[in-house]
Amino acid sequence: MDAILVINAGSSSLKFQVFGAADIGNPHHLIKGQVDGIGARPRLRTVDESNHQLIDKTFTADEIPDLPRATMAAGAWLRRVNTVNIIAAGHRVVHGGPDYDRPVMIDGEVLSRLERYAPLAPLHQPNNLAPIRALAQQRPEMPQIACFDTAFHRGHAPVADRYAIPERLYEEGVRRYGFHGLSYEYVATRLREVAPQIAAQRIIVAHLGSGASMCALLQGRSVESTMGFTALDGLPMGTRPGQIDPGVVLYLIAQKGMSAAAVQDFLYRECGLKGLSGISNDVRELMETDSVAATLALDHFVYRVGLHAGMLAAALGGLDAFVFTAGIGENSAVLRARIVEKLAWLGAALDAGANEAGSLLISSARSRVLIYVVPTDEELMIARHTFALLAGAAAPARRSAGR
C-alpha cells in the first residue's frame, strides 16, 4: 500500500504518523508513533489504526542522541514492518518567513531559505529541518513537503500584520506572523463538521500547551493572533514569557551585561511557568503542589489568557464561540473552568458536568458564548496538504518577496 509519512519534530521528541494514500481527499492514519526522550532516555512507541501497540522500545542515549538518529530509528522500524510503501513525507515547519504562505515541495533552495529563519524560532526550526536533511540523505528521490505554522495567518489585514516601525524593516520580513497555524486550520475545518452553525462566526481558539497562543477566527480565517514575529509573544508558556516590554530586553543587555545569545536562551528556556514558579514548566506538576510560586504561575497564565481574549474579541467586534484545544486546553478541566470565569463579562458560562466530562460543547444553556473543546490534529492537516500538493491540487508556493 502506498502511504505518506508525516513528521512533527520537537526539541526532544519526534512525532510521526503514516497515512494511507487510497483516498487522497480523506487520509486515514495507519500507524502513529513517537520517539521521545531523545538524547536522554529515548523511547520508540507506535500503535496501529486500531490503537494496538506495535512497538515500545527503549534505547540508550548514545543510540539516539539527536533528531536525525531518531528519524533513522523510526525509518528503520518502518522498513522492517514493511507493510506500506512510503512515497512522500510531509513536515511541520514552524516558520515560513515572508517567503512561503502555503505548503511547498522542498528542494535545496527552499531548505536554504528556511534555515535563515532558525534565529526566529530557535527551539523549533532547527529541529523541524533536521529530519528533512536525514530523509534527503536516506531517500533523495522521495518528495518532501513543508507545511508552515505561519501560513494560516498570512491573510491578516495590514493593521494587524504591521509593527509601528519603519517600512524598510517590514520589507525585510519583520512583521507579526502568528504561529500554531496548522492547529488553528485543523480546528477551523473541524468546526465546520461538528458545529456548522457557528463555524463562520466570531470565534477565539485557544491553543494551550507548553507552547500557547490564541487566534481570532472570522469566516473560518485567521484575522488576529497573540503571537507575532517569533513564538515568544503573547501568552505565557512553559518556558517562554509571552508578551514582554522590549525595555526588559534592553535592560538585560545594557544593565545585566547579557549577550544577545544569552538573552535568547533566557527568554526561550528560563521564563514562563518555569520562571515564575521556579519549579516546572508542566502545568500538571504545578497543580499538584501547594507552592505559592506555583499558584502565582497558574494565576498569571489564566489572567493573561483572559486579557488576550478581550483583545481578540475586540478585533472580532464581539464573540460567538470560544474553543479550547491542545494539551492543556483538551485535558485540564480545572484551567478551562478558571479561564471561562474570566470570560463571564462576554456572557460565557460553563456547564460544569460537561466540562468535567470533556464534552465537545461545555457551555451552559444560558451562556451567550458557545464554548467547545476540540482536540487538534496537526499531523492530519499536514497529511491533507501533502496529498493535495502531490496530486497537484494545491497551487505552487507563492513567494511574496518580503511583502
DSSP states of 16-58: EEEEE-S-TTS-EEEEEEEEESTTTS-EEEEEETT--EEEEEE
Tell me the HSE value of 136 on the side-chain side, using a 13 A CA sphere.
Answer: 13
Question: For residue 359, what are the CA distances in angstroms to 57, 135, 144, 209, 322?
Answer: 34, 40, 37, 19, 14
**254: which 3 cell numbers?**
545594557
Amino acid at residue number 100: Y
- For the chain, what is the radius of gyration of the CA atoms? 21
d(CA 325, CA 208): 6
Helix (H, G, I), strand (E, B) or coil at 346: helix
| Secondary structure (3-state) at 200 | coil
According to DSSP, the residues that pair with 206 across neighbouring strands are: 214, 324
Looking at 82-180, list the stretches that DSSP marks H as alpha helix, in order from N- to C-terminal side. Answer: 108-115, 125-138, 158-161, 167-171
Residue 196: CB atoms within 10 Å? 9
- Residues that are catalytic: 149
- Residue 309, judged by CB atoms within 10 A of its CB (0-12, 13-18, 19+), counts as buried
- The number of helices, as runs of H, and strands, as runs of E, in the chain is 15, 13
Where residue 396 falls (left for φ over 0; alpha for ψ -120 to 50; beta otherwise) is: beta
Q: Does the CA dihedral 249-178-36-81 come out positive or negative?
A: negative
Q: Which residues have CB under 8 Å from 132's CB, separation 6+?
A: 89, 91, 106, 111, 144, 146
